[in-house]
Chain A
Amino acid sequence: MSARVGVLVFPGTNSEDETLRACRAAGLDATLVHWNADLGTVNALDAYVLPGGFAYEDRVRAGAIAAHDRLMAAVRDGAIAGKPVLGICNGAQILLESGLVPQLDGVTRAQAGFARNAPLGKFRSKHVHVKLTIAPDRCAITASLAPGTVIPAWASHAEGRLAAQPEVLARIEREGRVAFVYCDSSGATTPDSVPNGSALGAAALVNERGNVLAIMPHPERDAWTYMHHDSTRERARGNATAMLAPSGGFVLFQGLAAALTSV
C-alpha cells in the first residue's frame, strides 16, 4: 500500500489544488484534509503537506492562528514520530509559528519567524531559484536530490523574511538548519537573488531531526514545463507531452515521494 499524504486545508488556504496535483503526479496517494476532518483519520496519515495561502486571513500574524488549529496536534505528533512534513509558504509560516522548525535544542515553540519583506514591507510575487545548501540526506525530503540542486519556484508573499534574535540566527546557520537559499538560475547566491531581505538568504529551514521542511517559495507553481521561464519551455513548444511534463520545482515532491518510499 502506498504512503498516504494529507494536504491540509485551513480556512483561507488557497494553494491546495496545485499542491495536491504535484503530490499525485509524484505517485503519492494524497488527499485534501480540511480543518474539520476526523482527527483519527488525520493521525493515520503517513506525511503532511501544508500548502500556501492565507490561513485564517493571517490574522494576528501569518500562520499564528493556524499554528493552534486542531489539525496541528496531529502534525505535531506526526513530526515527533518522524513523519515527513512539508510546509510551503503559508505552510512554512505555520510550521515556524508552531515551533516545529527550526526546533533548536528540541524546543517546540516559535524560535524564528517569517516577518514582513524588507525593505518595503509589501507583498511581492517574483520568480526565483533556490539552492539546496545542506547535505541532501540531512533532510528526508531532499535526500534523493543531488548536492546543490537548484529548484525554480515562485516567491509570492508579504511575510517571507526569515527573522530571529541574533543568537538564534547564528545557531540556525551554524547547525545547518538553512536547507535552501535564494540564488540565481545558475545557483550563484547574490543579494539581488533574495526577494525579501531574508536573513542568511534563507528560503527554507529544516528541523533538528530532518523530517520537517519549511520552504517559503512555491515549487508547485513551477512544477510543469509549461510553467517554466527558461529555454525548456521554448524547446517543448509544439510538443504537448513535453509541455505538460512535470519538471523544475516538481523535484521536491519527488523527494517527498522518495522519502516515503524509503520508510
Chain B
Amino acid sequence: MIRCLEVSLAIPDNEARTALATLQRLGIALSALDRSDLYRCDVDDDEADGLVATMSGLETIYNPNKHVLRVREDARPGPGEVWIDEIGSGNENGAGFVRVAGRTLEGVRSLERFTAWRLSDAAGRPAGAELVASATETLLCNPAFQKAVTR
C-alpha cells in the first residue's frame, strides 16, 4: 500500500516566502507559493494505520508545535505542484524496514522523500504547467542533482 505523508509548517514559512519573493522579482507571476516535506511510503497493509503515529513521533521531522501532518489522498503531484527529489537520496529501501531520522519504520518497504512546492498563479488558482516549469527551472530545481516531478 502506498501512503504519502505530508509535513507542512503551521507557522509562517520563511523559505517559501523568500522563494516567492525571488521568483516574483524575476518576473514569474505567482501569487502564492507553499512548501511541504513529503514521505511516500510503500508500507505493509497491516502497518499502514500505524504509520502516521510512528512518523508523528519523529521529533526531527514533525513538531506538533509548528507542523501539520496529514495523509495525502493522492500520492502524485497535484495541479500546480512540483515535487523535488534529490537524485540518489529518494529510496532507502533495505531488508524490509526503512530508517528515518534514526528510527526504524517497521513494515515500510521503501520510502521516497520529496520537497513539494504548490504554486498559485496571479489569480490565485493552481499554476499551469508552463508557470510551474518556469519557476522550477529558474529556482526550485537544480537539474544537476535534483529532479522535478509534476503531474
A residues near B, CB below 8 A? 56-57, 59-61, 64-65, 68, 96-97, 110-113, 115-116, 121, 163-165, 168
| B144 at interface, CB cutoff 8 A | yes
Please indicate the chain A residues that have their CB under 8 angstroms from the CB of B145 in the complex. Answer: 113, 115, 163-164
Q: Is the interface of A mostly helix, strand, loop or mixed?
A: loop
B residues near A, CB below 8 A? 14-15, 18-19, 22, 25-26, 86-87, 89, 139-140, 142-146
A145 to chain B, nearest CB (A): 28
Please indicate the chain B residues that have their CB under 8 angstroms from the CB of A163 in the complex. Answer: 87, 144-145
Q: In the complex the two chains form, is B89's CB within 8 Å of A121's CB?
A: yes
A113-B144, A113-B145, A163-B144 given as contacts; is B26 within 8 A of A68 (CB)? yes
Q: For chains A and B in complex, what number of residue pairs have CB atoms within 8 angstroms? A: 49
Residue of B with least CB distance to A61: B142
A112-B144, A163-B145, A165-B144 given as contacts; is B18 within 8 A of A59 (CB)? yes
A116-B86, A121-B89, A163-B87 given as contacts; is B18 within 8 A of A60 (CB)? yes
A121 to chain B, nearest CB (A): 7
Residue of A with least CB distance to B137: A109
Q: In the complex the two chains form, is B143's CB within 8 Å of A165's CB?
A: yes
A-B contact pairs, 30 of them (CB 8 A): A57-B14, A57-B15, A59-B18, A59-B19, A60-B15, A60-B18, A60-B139, A60-B140, A61-B146, A64-B139, A65-B19, A65-B22, A65-B139, A68-B22, A68-B25, A68-B26, A68-B139, A96-B144, A97-B142, A110-B142, A113-B142, A113-B145, A115-B86, A115-B145, A116-B89, A163-B87, A164-B144, A164-B145, A165-B144, A168-B144
Please indicate the chain A residues that have their CB under 8 angstroms from the CB of B25 in the complex. Answer: 68
B134 to chain A, nearest CB (A): 13
Residue of A with least CB distance to B23: A68
Please indicate the chain B residues that have their CB under 8 angstroms from the CB of A165 in the complex. Answer: 143-144
Please indicate the chain B residues that have their CB under 8 angstroms from the CB of A65 in the complex. Answer: 18-19, 22, 139
Instruction: Give Cα A31 to B22, complex, Å.
Output: 27
Q: In the complex the two chains form, is B142's CB within 8 Å of A64's CB?
A: yes
Instruction: Give Cα A112 to B144, complex, Å.
Output: 5
Instruction: Give Cα A118 to B18, complex, Å.
Output: 28
Please indicate the chain B residues that have their CB under 8 angstroms from the CB of A168 in the complex. Answer: 144
Please indicate the chain B residues that have their CB under 8 angstroms from the CB of A68 in the complex. Answer: 22, 25-26, 139
Residue of A with least CB distance to B35: A60
Q: In the complex the two chains form, is B26's CB within 8 Å of A60's CB?
A: no
